[in-house]
Amino acid sequence: MLGWALLFLILALVFAVLGFGALAGLAATFAKVVFVVALVLLAISLLTGRRTAV
């Protein structure tokens, strides 16, 4: 999932360099959202821990 965030960040940088401001902003927003979702899922998985089968 962090790979997707990195991809959208790179796309935002490329769009910004090429002058596509709206697409750069959209890609940057997607990168932020995916990054936050990844952090939330990481926090949930760390808090719940690994459960053993009974």
1-54 per-position pLDDT tens digit:
778 888 888 888 898 898 888 888 888 888 899 999 999 998 998 888 877 666
Q: With both helix axes pointing from N to C terminus, report the angle between 21-48 and 2-18 in degrees, rounded to the nearest 10.
A: 170
Domain contains 53: no
Within-domain flag for 6: yes
Distance CA 54, CA 52 (A): 6
42 lies in some domain: yes
Domain that holds residue 19: 2-48
Q: Is residue 54 part of a domain?
A: no
Residue 19 — φ and ψ, nearest 5°? 95, 10
pTM given for the model: 0.71
Range list of H helices, the chain: 2-18, 21-48
Give the chain's domain count: 1
